[in-house]
Amino acid sequence: MLPAAFLESAMTDAPLTTDIAIIGAGPVGLFSVFEAGMLDMRCVVLDALDLAGGQCAALYPEKPIYDIPGHPKIEAQALIDRLVEQAAPFKPVYELGSAVSGLTGDAGQGFTLTTAAGKSIRAKAVLVAAGCGAFGPNRPPLAGLEAYEGKSVHYLVKRREDFRGKRIVIAGGGDSAVDWALSLPEVAAKVMVVHRRPKFRAAPESEKRLHAMAAEGKVEMVIPYQLDALEGEGGNLSAVIVKTLEGQAKRLEADHLLAFFGLSMNLGPIAQWGLNLDKNHISVDPATLQTSVPGIFAVGDIANYPGKLKLILSGFSEAAMALHAAREIVHPGKVHHFEYSTTRGVG
C-alpha cells in the first residue's frame, strides 16, 4: 500500500514543465527526487510500469535487503514506501504507466520528453534512472506458455500468500530460484526445484540451506532436469513435464510454475537518444554522472563508469552527485552554499 502522500502527488494535475525529468521510479529515481528537492529543483518522475519501485517492487517486494545503510534488514517494498515518503515533501509529479520513447533538446534550450502515449514533458535537465531499461523476464521456450502466464506461470512473486497450500515447481538455479525455494515451503503444500545441474549460481550460504531443507524433506530437488512441457486447461496448470538431457521424462503434478531464468535487458528507445553507450549501459563521467550529452545525467543500474557497483547504495550516492551537477544547469549563476540536511530541513 502506497502512503497517502504518494497518491496525493500522483493525482496532482501534472504541470508538464519541470526542472528535472527523472526517467525511472526505481529506488534510485525515487531518492533523486529527495536530492533534487534539497537543491530547490522540482521533478516529474516517469515510469513505464504502473507502480513505483523498479526492480524492488516488481521483482522482489517481500525479500529482505541487508545492505541499505542504517537498515540492518528491510523488505524491498518497505524500502520503496520509505523512499516515496522521503520524496513526498518535495511534491514530485508521478507519471506512472508512461514509457518515455523520445528525448530531444539540449542544456541551453531545455529538453522535451515524449511518452509512448504521446504526452510531452519539458525539463531543464534529465536524469535517466532507468535500471536495466525496459526489463522483462527470460521466458522458457514451452509450447502454449502464453495461456498460463499470469495465472499459473509466473516470473516473480508479488505476494507469498498467493501460493498458500499450492504445489509449486520452481525452475532456475540463481538467487531468485533458491531464495523462493527457501521461503515458500513455509506456506506452500509442496515445493519442487527443477535445475539442469547440481551446482547453483546462488549465494553459497543459500545453496547450503537449500540442500539442508531438501535433506529434511521440505523441498524436492528435481536435478538434472529441464522444463519440457506444461499440462493443464484454461490457463490452470495441472502438471509440469521435465526431461533430462538424455530425454528421460518426469511428470510433476503442480498448480504453479515459477520460472526464474533471469531478466533480459533491453535499452529500448534509450539507445536512440544519442548517448554514448557501453553495451546495455550509459557511459557517464563518474564525478558528475553526466552522459555524453550535457544536461542529461544517468544514475543507478543503467549508469556505467570504471569500478561501478550495481548496488542501491551506489545509486543513492550517484543521485546526490548528479543533482549537485544538474543544479548548475537548472539554476545557472546562482551561488550555492552546501548545507547538511540537518541544517536545511526538508520541504
Residue 327, SS3?
Answer: helix
Out of 28, 79, 125, 275, point to the residue binding ligand FAD (CB under 6 A): 28
- Give the C-alpha separation, 54 to 56, whole Å: 6
Which amino acid, residue 152? S
Pick between residue 87 and residue 100 the one whose CB is nearest to ligand FAD: 100
**Minimum distance between the CB of residue 243 and ligand FAD, rounded to whole angstroms?**
27
x/- site string to ligand FAD, residues 88 to 117, per CB under 6 A? Answer: -----------xx-----------------
Residue 173 as a binder of ligand FAD (CB under 6 A): the answer is no
- The alpha carbon torsion through 69, 72, 74, 80 (nearest 10 deg) reads -10
Please give the residue whose beta carbon sits closest to ligand FAD in the complex.
131
From candidates 18, 20, 24, 327, binder to ligand FAD by CB under 6 A: 24
Is residue 172 involved in binding ligand FAD (CB under 6 A)?
Answer: no
Q: Does 232 bind ligand FAD (CB under 6 A)?
A: no
Please state, in angstroms and rounded to a whole number, the distance separating the CA atoms of residues 34 and 290.
Answer: 19
Least gap, CB of 317 to ligand FAD (angstroms): 12
Cis peptide before 294 (omega within 30 of 0): no
C-beta separation of 83 from 68 below 8 A:
no
Name beta bridge partners: 253. Answer: 239
- How far are the Cα atoms of 129, 134, 136, 177, 275 from residue 270, in angstroms, in the given order? 11, 9, 16, 30, 8
**Which of 6, 34, 60, 94 contacts ligand FAD by CB under 6 A?**
60
- How long, in residues, is the chain? 347
When asked if residue 18 is in the footprint of ligand FAD (CB under 6 A), the reply is no
194, three cell numbers: 527443477
CB of 262 to ligand FAD, least distance (A): 9
Q: Contact region for ligand FAD (CB under 6 A) — 48-56, 137-145, 165-173, 197-205?
A: 48-56
The 64-83 site mask, x for binding ligand FAD (CB under 6 A), equals: -x-x----------------
All residues at 6 or more sequence positions from 329 whose CB lies less than 8 Å from its CB, including other chains = 107, 124, 125, 294, 295
Rounded least distance, CB 263 to ligand FAD, Å: 7
- CB of 110 or CB of 133, closer to ligand FAD: 133
- In the stretch 270-309, what mask flags binding to ligand FAD with x, by CB under 6 A? x-----------------------------xx--------
* Smallest distance, ligand FAD to C-beta of residue 150, A: 18
**Residue 152 CA: distances (Å) to CA of 5, 255, 297:** 34, 7, 40
Is the Cβ of residue 156 or residue 241 nearer to ligand FAD in the bound state? 156
Cβ atoms 139, 259 nearer than 8 A = yes
Kindly state whether residue 214 participates in binding ligand FAD, applying the rule CB under 6 A.
Answer: no
